[in-house]
Amino acid sequence: MPVKARCSARLGLVLLVGASVAALAGCSSLDGASTRIASIVTPYKIDVVQGNFVSREQVEALQPGMSRQQVREILGTPLVTSLFHADRWEYVFTLKRPGEEAQTRKLTVYFKGDGLDRSEGDPMPTETEFVATLGSRGSKSKVPVLEATPEQLARYPASQRPSASPTAPPLEPASVSYPPLEAPAR
């Protein structure tokens, strides 16, 4: 092989290796950029609620001797019933939040025949306590003021402001007729 051809082949090999190194370096910086973007943009993670929420008020309403139907009306349909334990209903409630430990509460209701015998389980929160735990997550954002100050109103001409005067024309009532849900039978 002539010298010029060998130099040309080496130059091509050097360029190929250089391009490969540059491409790998570019992938590395691209990976770093994608990691930075992924840390900024995070998907919305929802709270997962499973089972039947049973409040302390519901448990206190249970009385020995109540029928199965009465218990179902107070507590709802049980999450777990067993063919092997027909006289036992399980009410299980789980609340899973991202970044927090899952909250699980369990109540077991025992029957003798058709009447309620007893109930056992975790201490249940009141409805008020439970609702307060749902709203206490994260930081509260400041509620914006929804009224304009006189200084803000002064920036707009009086002709463009909405009037709240009694001389304003009344609003049209909303339509109260709805189309039929199904086609007429023929």
Q: Which residues contact 72 (CB under 8 A, 6 or more apart)?
A: 78
- 88 & 52 share domain: yes
Give the lowest-confidence range in 52-61, 65-74, 95-104, 176-185: 176-185
Does residue 146 or residue 87 have the better pLDDT?
Answer: 87
- 33 & 56 share domain: no
Number of domain units in the chain: 2
Does residue 168 or residue 85 have the better pLDDT?
Answer: 85
- 56 & 19 share domain: no
- 129 & 57 share domain: yes
Residue 148 clears pLDDT 90, i.e. is over it: no
Mean pLDDT for 153-167 is 66
Terminal C-alpha separation, the chain? 93
pTM above 0.75, yes or no: no
CATH number at residue 121: 3.30.1450.10
H, E, C per residue of 19-59:
HHHHHHHHHHHHHHHHHHHHHHCCCCCCCEEEECCCCHHHH
Side-chain half-sphere CA neighbours of 27 within 13 A: 6
- 130 & 59 share domain: yes
- 57 & 128 share domain: yes
- 28 & 90 share domain: no
**Residue 176 CA to its chain's centroid (Å):** 34
Q: What is the rounded CA–CA span in Å between residue 54 and residue 51?
A: 9
Give the lowest-confidence range in 73-77, 90-94, 119-123, 174-178: 174-178
Task: Return the residue matching tokens 């999450």.
Answer: 79
User: Which tens digit of pLDDT belongs to each residue from 125-134?
Assistant: 888 888 877 7
Residue 126: give the domain boundaries: 48-134
